[in-house]
Amino acid sequence: MSIKYDFTGKVALITGSSSGIGAATAQLFAKSGANVVVTGRNADSVAKVAKQCTDVSPKQLPALEVVGDLTNDEDCNRLIETTVQTFGKIDILVNSAGSGFYFNIDATDFMEKFSLALKTNLNSLVYMTHKCVPHLAKTRGNIINISSVSSKKSSSGESPYCVSKAAVNMFTKCMAAELGPKRIRVNAILSGVVDTNFNTVFEISKELIDEINKSIGQKYPVGRVGQPEDIANTVAYLASDTAAGFLTGSLVVADGGDIAANVSYD
């Protein structure tokens, strides 16, 4: 039996929602009755996901489309302001935007790439949280941050990504403690390998990515890598005050057994 959530009347702002985990999350919130905000850097992708959200919405609620780059503070401000102007409030913030950064320490442009990793995966998340807190305090809302098992597993050549995600974990716990008196819950999801276009950062073919995912999936205790919907379902659970109202500061592992089985991607 599938679990159904009711987010009728709620406003969910999902960053990085023009593809992958963010897109699946936006669609699930829309299907559950929420007003959703779809945002990303590509206008066509944003429009496509927004239409999908409207189509699955029980009342055909139109999704708000905002095109922007979250590494730009002005775009972040416009995203939040447009959301509040359109819907009047924010109940749920899902910080899903992020990218992979894999470079060795002796790379000539390592510091530049390391700074970009922090700016993309951490700073934008911190800034969105900073700016959304006044609105979430009014609704006693909650924040879900998308982290990674890489925050718990060191790996050669992956320090920019691992460090940025480890910082997301600590920021999540700090915010849970700090925002508790405002009745804002803050949790994070440590995702395992998920079959999305995220891995195109490696600039390899889709066919090779599929082969890699199949190989990794065979090592996972559940026998497969994740799908965007797997993480979206976990987001919905954490966002539900009825189901998860006593959870805050939690780092929820949704990884198919990656960490438990000490899976190596080599």
Q: Which residues are catalytic?
A: 161
Cα of 211 vs its chain's centroid, Å: 25
- β-strands 251-254, 92-95 pairing: unpaired
The identity of residue 258, as a single letter, is: D
Reduce the DSSP state of residue 118 to 3 states and report it: helix
Give the residues across from 189 on adjacent strands: 146, 252
1's enclosing H/E stretch is none
> H-type helices in 39-157, by residue range?
43-56, 73-87, 110-118, 124-139
- β-strands 92-95, 64-67 pairing: unpaired
Q: Which stretches does DSSP call E strand in the chain?
A: 11-14, 35-40, 64-67, 92-95, 142-148, 185-191, 251-254
